Amino acid sequence: MKVEHFNSLYSLIKMPELFGRYITNSDIEKCLKKFPSEIYTVEGYSVERRPIYGLRFGSGPQKVLLWSQMHGNESTTTKALFDCFNLFLTNNKVSNNILSSCTIVAIPILNPDGAERYARLNANTFDLNRDAQMLSQPESKVLRAIFDDFKPHYCFNLHGQRTIYSVGTTNVSSTLSFLSPSQDPDRTITPNREMAMHIISKVNDILQEEIPNGVARYDDGFNLNCVGDMFQSFGVPTLLYEAGHLPNDYNREAVRRLVFIAILRGLDVISGGIDHINYKSYFQIPENGKQFYDIIIRNALISDSASDLVDIGILYVERLNGDKIDFIPTIETISKLSDFFGHREIDAKGQKVKNGDNSEIKVINENDFVLINNEKIVLKPL
């Protein structure tokens, strides 16, 4: 399947009700009302008794379990899932092939309390992706019960990552990242890990047409408290997807389309049957680095007494404000950042850089704008 075909499908079935970063149960419930009632159900409840929805598609022999928003502020993959759901409900060759070969169970928001707060953790301030052994949280128990009952042949663990990530140490943003998790401390390349690596390699091949060199992979350090490592240890090929960043895409709408392609391509590989596993190309995908700031102001003077030029590294703090996310520019570091890159770079050209109130720039200052030689420079996303 060519990337142009996936793109043409996407333009027809993108779910318009979902937009931006703040996606909650209220948002997806508006979408679910448009779906046949028999395809979705309440699988359980969160700490604060919000429903955890599950959707089922297809009737094929290959069983695939997908879940998103285990971390409540990682919503890009949820939007992409609903775009896939829209496709599954159409009479289309791609969806027909997938659904005749696969039975799919998807949990679009596993952590609805965290989603409501736009927080990584659940209402008990617990990281659900560190609860695979204890199963101390109701959301973790829901996911495990679905896993035990459904007995999937494949798992897709869908997440989002910060803007700091790069492909290796390059100046290319890590737009999507993947991992075939380890299942033991020795990181043994087991048959199910090979299978996950093979699928990821096929997904990477098609993504390279859209984002050349923009795909990375995570280090496979083992932690059995992580759900992916646990499910991998059960012998089920498990794929971690991480939705990353593209320039000027802080709503993650451009990346959403790429995640849609990546999910469909993964399912397409499974539905086509896998006779020969080639996992070695997985290791040709560079590992993630952390080389980015949201903004770097280069060649700056920061005080009247200073004579050396420095760089100012700025990261956005994501803060829930009503029903939208504000991106608050925050000074993270003041140093020479020659080995780092900014998604946006500003050259101060040796001029003084000050806070908007004309005070000296300091680490942890929050600034909607700065003054460079008394000129106002807006720092919020353009």
Which residue among 248, 264, 289 closes a domain? Answer: 289
Shared domain for 96 and 196, answered yes or no, is yes
CATH number at residue 87: 3.40.630.10
User: How many structural domains does the chain have?
Assistant: 2
Phi, psi (5° rounding) for residue 317?
-90, 125
Question: Residue range 213-221: average pLDDT?
Answer: 97
Question: Alpha carbon of 371 to those of 301, 309, 348, 357: distances in Å?
Answer: 11, 16, 10, 8
Q: Identify whether residues 254 and 307 lie together within a single domain.
A: no
Same domain assignment for residues 146 and 275: yes
Contact between 232 and 194 under an 8 Å Cβ cutoff? The reply is: no
Which stretch of 249-253, 282-286, 331-335, 356-360 has the lowest confidence by average pLDDT?
A: 356-360
CATH number where 321 lies: 2.30.40.10
pLDDT at 1: 67
Please report the pLDDT score of residue 2 as a whole number.
Answer: 81
pLDDT score of 274 more than 90: no
pLDDT tens string 87-140 = 999 999 999 999 999 999 999 999 999 999 999 999 999 999 999 999 999 999
Same domain, 250 and 351: no
pLDDT of residue 335: 96
The Cα-based distances of 64 to 33, 35, 374 in angstroms read 24, 20, 57
Say if residue 200 is in the same domain as residue 306: no
Spatial separation of the C-alpha atoms in residues 189 and 197, rounded to whole Å: 10
Write out pLDDT tens, residues 298-326: 999 998 777 799 999 999 999 999 999 99
Among candidate residues 146, 152, 159, the one with its CA nearest the CA of residue 234: 152
- Torsion region of 235: left, alpha or beta (phi above 0 gives left; psi -120 to 50 gives alpha): left
pLDDT at residue 273, rounded to an integer: 85
For residue 25, pLDDT beyond 80: yes
Q: Within this chain, do residues 22 and 81 fall inside the same structural domain, yes or no?
A: yes
Note down the domain range covering 345.
Answer: 293-378
Is 282 in the same domain as 335?
no
Rounded percentage of the chain residues whose pLDDT exceeds 90:
94
For the chain, how big is the Rg over CA atoms in Å? 22
pLDDT class of 287 with cuts at 50, 70, 90: very high
Say if residue 206 is exposed, middle or buried (CB neighbours under 10 Å; 0-12, 13-18, 19+).
buried
Query: What average pLDDT does the chain have?
Result: 96
Same domain, 260 and 135: yes
- Residue 286's pLDDT is 98
Quickly state the pLDDT bin for 32 (edges 50, 70, 90). Answer: very high
Q: Are residues 145 and 210 in the same domain?
A: yes
pLDDT higher than threshold 90 for residue 228: yes
pLDDT of residue 276: 87
Residue 82 has pLDDT above 80, yes or no: yes
> Are 199 and 285 found together in one domain?
yes
Q: Give CA torsion, residues 243, 247, 257, 253, to 10 deg.
A: 90
* pLDDT value of position 80: 98
User: Of 289, 313, 336, which one is at a domain's C-terminal end?
Assistant: 289
Do residues 282 and 346 both lie within one domain?
no
270 and 300 fall within a common domain:
no
Digit-coded pLDDT (tens) for 337-375: 999 999 999 999 999 999 989 999 999 989 999 999 889
The mean per-residue pLDDT over the stretch 271-281 comes to 90
Q: Considering 247, 271, 289, which residue would you say is the last residue of a domain? A: 289
